[in-house]
Amino acid sequence: MTEITITAKDGGKFTAYLARPASTPAPALVLVQYICGVNQVMRRIADQFAALGYLVAVPDLYWRQDPGVQLIQNPASPTKEEMQRALELNDGLDDDLAVSDLTATAETLRGHADCNGTLGALGYCLGGRLVVPMAARTPLDCAVSYYGVNLDTYLDEAETITAPLLMHVAGEDAMVPAPLREAIQQRIGGLPNASVTIHPGVNHAFALPSGPNYNAEAAIRANSESHAFLARHLSPVAQG
């Protein structure tokens, strides 16, 4: 497993899983974890994006609480203890510090020898929320959010985003009330460089492989849209 070390803007250091494409220099992608840390699921997704031609980093956002923690390696069989710990870490996360760490990761990736200078970000759940303020505060070429939670906190800030933004929203997300789903569609979907895709009939984390709410049809549709969006704005070199 390849990791890089990143210096936090407020001091200290944290690690990020790094997945390299076959051909470099390549566009970079900051991949933002969900509540289970940089686990096997996130590393596998990073490897998949690297196979598409991206230099991918998945930073450890829990490093201030429990460095290197990896929970629920198999979403099909989570334990009660792991789920409780993931929720504790999620509740203890400082969003502003996490976004600062994402900015530091983006700056490190842009300066990496294997990066061609273009960079995007993509996040799931917790990461789907953090990608929004990250896109508002960090120079990005594009950003993708999957079923972000508690986005009401960042709707005002989202309206300042100028980079292309794609948001995937589960039409029956039990963690995102219907009024918030409607607000996301109206306020963010109405921005000049943003688009919001509502996926009807599916619940939160519908694109999480083996997860309890996984929906193959919706996941394929969302991932295809995301891949086309990233390719349009980052132009990766086809991998042989």
pLDDT score for 238: 57
- Answer yes or no: is 74 within a domain: yes
Q: In what order do the strands lie in the sheet with 115-124?
A: 3-7, 13-19, 55-59, 26-32, 115-124, 142-146, 165-170, 194-199
Which residue's structure tokens are 């970000």? 121
Domain holding 34, by residue range, is 3-234
- Answer yes or no: is 186 within a domain: yes
Q: Provide the annotated active-site residues.
A: 173, 204
- Answer yes or no: is 11 within a domain: yes
- How many CB atoms sit inside 10 A of residue 224's CB? 10
Rounded mean pLDDT for each run of 10 residues along the chain, 240 residues in total: 94 97 97 97 98 98 97 91 95 98 98 97 98 98 97 96 97 96 95 96 96 97 98 78
- Answer yes or no: is 240 within a domain: no
The CATH number of residue 174's host domain is 3.40.50.1820
CA 162 vs CA 62, 135, 137, 138, 192: distances in Å:
28, 8, 10, 11, 8
Number of domains in the chain: 1
| Cα dihedral 88, 179, 147, 158 sign | negative
- Answer yes or no: is 210 within a domain: yes
Residue 235 to residue 240: CA distance in whole angstroms = 15
- Answer yes or no: is 13 within a domain: yes
- Answer yes or no: is 33 within a domain: yes
175 — phi, psi (to 5°)?
-95, -5
- Answer yes or no: is 108 within a domain: yes
Longest CA–CA span in the chain (Å) reads 45
Helix orientation angle between 126-137 and 95-110, rounded to the nearest 10 degrees:
70
Task: Pick the closest to residue 121 from 237, 230, 224 (CA basis).
Answer: 230
